Structure 1
Amino acid sequence: MTSAKRYTGRFAPTPSGPLHLGSLVAALGSWLDARAVEGRWLLRLEDIDPPRCPSGTDDVIRRQLEAFGLTWDGEIRYQSDRGAAYQAALDRLIVDGMAYPCGCSRREWQQHDHYPGWCRHGSRHPERKQAWRLRTDKGVQPIIWQDRLFGRQCLDPSGQGDVVIKRKDGLWAYQLAVVVDDADQGVTDIVRGYDLLDNTPWQRQLQSALDYPEPRYLHMPLILGSDGQKLSKQNLATAIPDDPVKARPLLYHALQLLDQQPPPELREAPVAMQLAHASRHWAPEALTATPTRDLH
C-alpha cells in the first residue's frame, strides 16, 4: 500500500459550472482516501478549454469545497498556465514517433467506431488546420492495471482509436494535460468516477511513452439522478451550497453514497466533525461497484 509519506491525491474539476452532488462525492472520496493516511490532497482546475469555463467559476468551486471542509494543500494549479509543459511533452512524443498531425474531420470518419488512423504516415489533408493524435498502435499493449475497486483491467488502447492530444484550434486536450500534471505534481493515487475508467488506457500509454510513474487507480461508482441519468453539469444537476451550515446534511448524505457508515448523530454536526470521523473510519473496501441512485 502507498505509504502516508508518499501519498499524493488530487481533485481536478473542469470549472465549467458549480460542483453538484456527483462531483462532491468524487471530491470527498478522493479527500478521504488521502487524509485517512495523512497524505497530501491537491486542487487542480482543468481550465484548458476557456470557452467552457465562465469567469468566476473557479471561485465558486473553491467556496463550495471550503464549505464542505475539503481543504487542499498548496496553491491551486490552473492548467491554462501550463502550455509550455504540455508542448514539451508533445515535442517528445513527436520525436519518438508517438504523435502525428491529423487534418481529418469527424464527419469523414463518423461511420467508424473510432478514428481509423488514416494520418499515421502523413496527414491526408495538410492544407487544413492540424490536430495532434497519439499513436495507439505503438508502445505498451495491451494496457493492464489493477483498479482498487473494479479489479484487474485489460484494455487495448488501439481498440479505442488514436486520441487527440492537441486540438485543431490550438487548445490542449484533456488526456495529455492530465498525464503531464499528475506526473509533475507527484500524484500517486487517482480517485475519480467510473466514467473516466476507459480513459485510463490512453493515459497509461502516455505515462509509459513519457517515462512517467504509474499511479494507483480507484474508480468510484457513479451517482445517478432519480431519472437514472448520471449527475452532471450537462444534465443540469443542482449545485451544492457554499454555506457550511447548509452543507452539513448533504455531507452526511455524500458519506452514505460512498457506502460509509456515519453515525446518525453526526447528520447535523459541523463538517469538521463529520470529516474527522469519516477519515478515521474510511473504508474504501465498502464501496460497491455499481452505480448509486440518489433518491435524497
Structure 2
Amino acid sequence: MPDAPHQTVTRFAPSPNGQLHLGHAYAAIVAHDLAVERGGRFLLRIEDIDGPRSRAELAQAFREDLGWLGLAYEEVPPQSQRLDSYIVAANQLREAGLLYPCTCTRTEIAEAATRMGPDGPVYPGTCKHRRPDPEREAAWRLDVEAATARTGPLTWTDEIAGEQQAEPERLGDVVLVRKDLPASYHLAATLDDAADGITLVARGADLFHATHIHRLLQALLDLPVPTWHHHELLLDESGSKLAKRRGSPSLTDRREAGEDGGALAESLRRGALPAGISLGRP
C-alpha cells in the first residue's frame, strides 16, 4: 500500500563497523520521535557496504539496542542489497559527462589542496583535466562545476536553520564511486533516502554541509527532495562529538549490564546527560 500523502518518514541509518553509543541513541530518538509526533514512520536502514568492516553481528546488536531504548521501527533492505542502484546512478552521471576518474592519494590531495572544507582539504581538481594512469586504481569524482551549470541554483530547507542556498562547491569535487566500493556515502545515502521514501532526513549537525552535495545529486538524478532536520550532537569534555573510535561507552555494554534502556531514552529526551557530556554543535 502506498504511503499516505505527505506522511512523515524518517530513518536511522547506522554502519555496522562499531558499536552504537549515546550519540547514536540520541540521533535515533530524535528521528523516531519526529516521526511518531507527526503520525509517520520510522525506518532502520543498515549501511553495510564498508567491506570487511561491516559485521552482521553488529547489525543485530543495533536492532536489539533500538528495542532496548523502546524505539519501534520498520527495517528496510540494507545497502548491501542495493548495489545495482548505485551502479546505475553512477553510470548515468558518467554518461552525462559529470564524473571523472581520480587516482590521487590522500597525501597527494593534502599536499596540493589550496583550501580547507568541512571535511578537510578540498580536492584541487588534479585529475580533472589529465589522462588517468591505467596502472593506478581510480575513484570517480563529481565535476561540481559542470553539475551546477546543468542544474542552476538550488535551495533546500532545514527545519532548524531554515531555507538554504545549495553551495556544493564548498566541498569540491567529491568522490561518488570509491576505489573499493560502488558508491560513497554521498551517492548511497541520497539514493537510499529516495528509494525509502524519506521525507524528513533527521541527522546530526556534523552532516549539515553534506546536504549541499546531496541536494545537487537529487537534482541531477531527478530524485524527490526531502526536508532536513540537523539536530545538535552529544559532545564530550573537549567539545568533540562522541565517536566509536574514541571509545565512547557502547549501548550494548549498557544493555548487557542491565541498565534501563527506556529510562536512558527519557533522560536523553530531557537533556539529562551523563557527566562530561553536553548538547551542542561542534
TM-score by length of 1: 0.81
Counterpart selection for 1:237 from 235, 248, 266: 248
1:242 to partner: Cα distance: 3.3
After superposition, what is the alpha-carbon deviation per residue over 1:1-40, rounded to whole angstroms, capped at 9, x for unaligned? xx87522111101111221111111000000101111111
Q: 1:217 to 1:65 in 2, by over 3 A?
A: same
Distance in 2 separating the partners of 1:68 and 1:209: 38
**Which residue of the partner structure matches residue 159 of structure 1?**
170
Q: 1:292 to 1:88 in 2, by over 3 A?
A: closer
Counterpart selection for 1:132 from 134, 137, 140: 140
After superposition, what is the alpha-carbon deviation per residue over 1:170-221, rounded to whole angstroms, capped at 9, x for unaligned? 3521111101111111111100100010111111111110000110000001
**Which residue of the partner structure matches residue 200 of structure 2?**
189
Counterpart selection for 1:223 from 219, 231, 234: 234
**Which residue of the partner structure matches residue 159 of structure 2?**
148
**Which residue of the partner structure matches residue 263 of structure 1?**
none
RMSD: 2.3
SS for the counterpart of 2:183 is: coil
Q: Could you list the runs of 5+ residues in structure 2 that have no partner in the other structure?
A: 116-121, 274-278
User: For structure 1, which segment, 134-143 or 86-95, has the greater mean C-alpha deviation from structure 2 after superposition?
Assistant: 134-143
After superposition, what is the alpha-carbon deviation per residue over 1:110-166, rounded to whole angstroms, capped at 9, x for unaligned? 131311223334544233111111111123455432211122333421231111111
After superposition, what is the alpha-carbon deviation per residue over 1:25-63, rounded to whole angstroms, capped at 9, x for unaligned? 100000010111111111101111023223410011110
1:292 to partner: Cα distance: 7.3
**Which residue of the partner structure matches residue 250 of structure 1?**
264
SS for the counterpart of 1:45 is: coil
Contact 1:25 / 1:257 at 8 angstroms: preserved in 2? no
Give the counterpart letter for 2:185 in structure 1: Y
Q: Could you list the runs of 5+ residues in structure 1 that have no partner in the other structure?
A: 260-289
User: For structure 1, which segment, 38-47 or 108-117, has the greater mean C-alpha deviation from structure 2 after superposition?
Assistant: 108-117
Distance in 2 separating the partners of 1:52 and 1:102: 24
SS for the counterpart of 2:197 is: coil
Share of identical aligned residues, percent? 37
Give the counterpart letter for 1:95 in structure 2: E
Contact 2:235 / 2:241 at 8 angstroms: preserved in 1? yes
Distance in 2 separating the partners of 1:6 and 1:17: 32
TM-score by length of 2: 0.85
User: For structure 1, which segment, 28-37 or 122-131, has the greater mean C-alpha deviation from structure 2 after superposition?
Assistant: 122-131
**Which residue of the partner structure matches residue 221 of structure 2?**
210
Distance in 1 separating the partners of 2:105 and 2:8: 42
**Which residue of the partner structure matches residue 84 of structure 2?**
84
Aligned residues: 260
1:67 to partner: Cα distance: 0.8
Q: 1:175 to 1:121 in 2, by over 3 A?
A: same
Contact 1:147 / 1:153 at 8 angstroms: preserved in 2? yes
Contact 2:49 / 2:80 at 8 angstroms: preserved in 1? yes
